Amino acid sequence: MPTAATPGQYHPGGKAGGGSPILDNARRSTPSEMPSASGEDGRRLLIRGGSVLSMDPHVGDFACADVLVSGRRIEAVGPNIDAGDAAILDAHGMIVMPGFVDTHHHQFETALRGFLADGILINDGLPHSAINYHEDILQKFSMVYRPQDVYISELFGSLSQIDAGVTTVMDVSQIHHSPEHSDAAVQALRDAGRRAVFGYFEGWGDRAQYPLDARRLKSEHFSSDDQLLTMAMGGEIYLPGHAEAWKIGRELAIPIALHVVGTFGVQAVFDELARSGQFGADNIFIHMTGMSDLAWKAAADAGAHISLSVPIEMTMRHGMPPIQKALDLGMQPSLSSDVECTMTADPFTQMRSAMTLQRAFVNERALSGDSDLPDMVTSRDAIRFATIEGAKGLKLDRKIGSLTPGKDADILLLDASAINVAPLNHVTGAVVTLMERSNVDTVMVAGAIRKWRGEVVGVDVAKLRSELEASRDYLFEASGISRDIFR
């Protein structure tokens, strides 16, 4: 479990080493200033004076306004809220907005970060496929994971995304080699203290219980809807027995998520499911590259959700990200980070990639003389994909995705006074085109503060990093893969 960190020393007004009085006026806070008991019943916090981006058209946006949080929920949004004796969180110079939602992240691979930066998805017999995800990550590394390796990667990956402002994730854990592996993943998600959808996907070996163990997991860990953790069923159609997984998912009334990628050779199976009416609003289709018009129309008609991992799809040869296809059919996609063995899991990279790719398509058509053009994705659209559309896809929009009174207080304070953003001229544009994780000042999940003034709270990052490195060393040795960091 996370271990409490020892706060560093801070001397207000100090000028050690001849410090500049200009720098002395910079924003500084100490852990002791963090309001206590955030997220607890009866505790009221007033986020005061920020630029509020609600992502709810009925609430609206405000150049300067307040957000009142009572316990775990948002009580009110608007200018000059009188909150009585509520604790005050100064948000001047901040953008206040809902937390980001990542609808597809393989967190068990955190220990393998960057290993596959130059690789692709699968050995398809084409050039550049010698280093690939299927063979190196799934068939070698993943086979030697112990439950403790699952735990530390899941925990460290979750905390890293809290640092980046991602308050909700669907964790796609293709590592269920035993019930103990599954329980380790769930425990790590719980210990991280953020909202998560546990994606129960496949595992390998004699002790793997997928998909039948879904019933036990649902009963033991996800019996209540009034908690931060919920569950989704993995239903990969490139695996034998996928029909049983879909059946169990629908029996348990949980979303059914699957990768849909043309290079896996699943087009015929997917088309047959489309023809037989198997698609539903409970489906989350990840990537959707290389699929037929028939399947796309069936997915749209069924109300299925599309999760796009634009940077990964472009670099790993999944096929061109089908963002325009989805939009043309009236489908609003969400964004997802996919695999950190290849690409960062921060939401700013996802938003910028989706926006610039779609605009590149439209701009190229315009320059070619085409006048019948689709709308270009805007910075607000990109934020929408990364917040409320993700919440809808995970069936959590009744709780999160916008700053709406009555919803859970999953809230970000983003520093718009920082050197890479100031002066603030366009709120949504600043978030998408200028910001990075260093701008994520404060993060709340269900009203509880998980990052405060630039630091994830309640964790000893150095200790956890050491545990992650030890796991990394074991995985390389056990898999027989050489760890050459300059290969």
Confidence class for position 259, pLDDT limits 50, 70, 90: very high
The beta strands (E) that lie in 292-446 are given as 305-308, 334-335, 411-415, 440-445
Tell me, yes or no, if the two domains 21-99+401-461 and 101-393 fold the same way. no
Q: How high is the pLDDT of residue 487? A: 85
263 falls in which pLDDT band (50, 70, 90)?
confident
How many angstroms separate the CA atoms of 104 and 338, rounded?
A: 5
| pLDDT of 267 higher than 50 | yes
Check pLDDT > 80 for residue 236.
Answer: yes
Could you tell me the two tokens for 172? 């796609």
Question: What is the mean pLDDT of the segment spanning 124-149?
Answer: 95
Q: How far apart are CA 279 and CA 294, in angstroms?
A: 12
Any idea where the domains of the chain sit in the sequence?
21-99+401-461, 101-393
When pLDDT is averaged across residues 322-346 and rounded to a whole number, the result is 98
Instruction: Read off the pLDDT of residues 22-53 as tens digits, 9 standing for 90 and up.
Output: 333 334 344 448 999 999 999 999 999 999 99
Instruction: Report pLDDT for 210.
Output: 97
What percent of the chain stands above pLDDT 90? Answer: 90
What region does 399 belong to: left with phi over 0, alpha with psi -120 to 50, or beta? alpha
Which has the closest alpha carbon to 96: 127, 55, 142, 53?
53
Q: What is the pLDDT, as a whole number, of residue 322?
A: 98
pLDDT at res. 2:
44
The pLDDT of residue 19: 40
What is the reported pLDDT for 257?
Answer: 98
Tell me the average pLDDT across 237-247. 94
Average pLDDT over residues 158-184: 98
Cis amide leading into 423 (omega within 30): yes
User: Half-sphere exposure (CA, 13 Å, Cβ side) for 451?
Assistant: 29
Mean pLDDT of 428-444: 98
**pLDDT over 80 at 335, yes or no:** yes
Q: What is the mean pLDDT of residues 121-139?
A: 93
DSSP symbol at 52? E
From 23-32, 55-64, 122-131, 412-421, the region with the lowest mean pLDDT: 23-32
Q: Sorting pLDDT into bands at 50, 70 and 90, what band is 282?
A: very high
Model pLDDT for residues 63-85, shown as the tens digit of each residue: 999 999 999 999 999 999 999 99
Query: In the predicted model, what is the mean pLDDT of residues 159-177?
Result: 97
Question: 268: which residues sit within 8 A by CB, 6+ positions away?
Answer: none
Is the pLDDT score of 244 beyond 50? yes
Tell me yes or no: is domain 21-99+401-461 CATH 2.40.50.140: no
pTM above 0.85, yes or no: yes
Give phi and psi for 88, each to the nearest 5. Answer: -105, 130
Q: State the pLDDT at residue 27.
A: 41
Nearest to 308 by CA among 226, 368, 390: 390
What tokens does 441 get? Answer: 């000042």
What number is the average pLDDT over the span 411-440? 98
- Of the chain, the percentage scoring pLDDT greater than 70 comes to 93
Q: What is the CATH number of domain 101-393?
A: 3.20.20.140
The average pLDDT across 413-430 equals: 98
pLDDT at position 265 is 80
Q: Which helix (H) or strand (E) holds 314?
A: helix 310-315
